[in-house]
Amino acid sequence: MGGIGLGGRGSYDLSVMVSLPEVQWVAVCDVLRARREAAKAMVDGKLGNKDCAMYGDLRQFLAERTDVDAVLIATGDRWHALASILAMQAGKDVFCEKPACLTMAQGQMVAETARRFARVYQTGAQRLSEPHHVFAIEMARTGRLGPIHTVYADIRWRDGLRHDWLPAEPEPPKEELDWDVWLGPSPWRPYNKAYANGGGWYHYYDFATDVAMWGAHTVAQGLAGLDMNGVTSIEFEYAGPDATMVTRLSNGVKLVLYRVAGSVWEPCQYWHGACGERFDGPEGWAAAADGYSEPDVSSPVLLREYRKVLADYTARTQRPLNHIRDFIDCVRSRRPPVANPEVMVRSMVICLAADICEQLKRNLTLDLTRAEFVGDAEANRLRFRTMRAPFVA
């Protein structure tokens, strides 16, 4: 394996993957010199040698390292889709952190590349592999709650995305940070240390998304409990800036994109904690979120089958309750992981459509099978963002 983008979440993923006995970590790539040196030190320290190679440009890494079977991609969001596409074109399997893309078109390109090159692709929606979330999902999917009529997904509270940019500062030496490569497919913007070193990119439209930032997790969690066969469209109801949004699937299920006011950890009526989902049916409800000692349910009776529900899931799917392990197993078996391209595209299309609904401040209807808005040319134009040359797929 090799890694691309190894600060923050990437350093955590690396610490897990480098500890797996069947993984030989051979190279790290990060545009920031300090981060690639820290990643190399972690790998070398774990493996007891100094063999891990360093790269500053993922294009060079992918071209030279023909020995690499699979890559971890945990760059900033602007690079997720393009890095995944380039890696799969180079014959690598991909574990890519969320959100997997900035646009619907990018997500479709990732999925098409995975199909065309027969690559294993897992997006980092790790709660699809965590026991409490799997329990809540299975309670809905197996009919224990009756026909699901409402699903709630936590999309957290953000301050919105800025469309301006920070003032120019002198660029650091290229060996410390290659600013052109850091920007990648994003529009050219002047260097400012707050983008690269302080995580300031997170707040700017050029580099990030809004609903998809957390919905990449929770919408996927919500959809996993539903039968999506035959769902052809979804209606988005604009509710105001940074407000909870109600969407309606063509099968009659209501998907509520819920925003918690104030701190993301403040209690709400659907869950406590962050990254929660909840399923409501005529026989009760089940919910899960981060930090739970056990899932939330409408009646303690529903928890009596907790172990059986998880055992049935693992027996039926032959999946471990561990997201990274699921990826490694699928690299070997060549079967699709739990958060495969189809799962990624469907959840990201819904999240990004909600972003566009908020941006245009009007109701929209999305043809889910085509990933196109019905009768709205302006909304359809926002399904794309131009990739800046030469950083194109």
- Domain containing 52 — which CATH number? 3.40.50.720
Other Cβ atoms within 10 Å of 235 Cβ, number: 16
Domain boundary among 82, 108, 126: 126
pTM of structure: 0.96
Q: How far apart are CA 284 and CA 301, in angstroms?
A: 10
Domain boundary among 110, 126, 142: 126
State the 10-residue block means of pLDDT for the chain, 393 residues long.
95 96 96 97 96 98 98 97 98 98 98 98 98 98 98 83 94 97 98 90 94 93 97 96 92 94 68 92 97 94 97 98 98 98 98 96 97 98 97 93
Write down the residue that tokens 């889910």 correspond to: 368
Q: How far apart are CA 328 and CA 346, in angstroms?
A: 23
What residues are paired with 373 via a beta bridge?
Answer: 366
For residues 74 and 132, state if they share a domain.
no
Cα angle vertex 329, ends 323, 332, to 5°? 145
Q: How far apart are CA 44 and CA 74, in angstroms?
A: 20
Output the pLDDT for position 262. 59
For the CA atoms of 261, 207, 107, 72, the dihedral, rounded to the nearest 10 degrees, stands at -100
Domain residue limits at 302:
127-159+210-322+342-381
Query: Of 364, 357, 318, 326, which is closest to residue 343 (Cα–Cα)?
Result: 326
Asked whether residue 85 is domain-assigned, the answer is yes
Cα angle vertex 114, ends 111, 115, to 5°? 90
Query: Of 128, 290, 297, 129, which is closest to residue 223 (Cα–Cα)?
Result: 128
Residue 214 structure tokens: 């957390």
Q: How far apart are CA 377 and CA 8, in angstroms?
A: 38
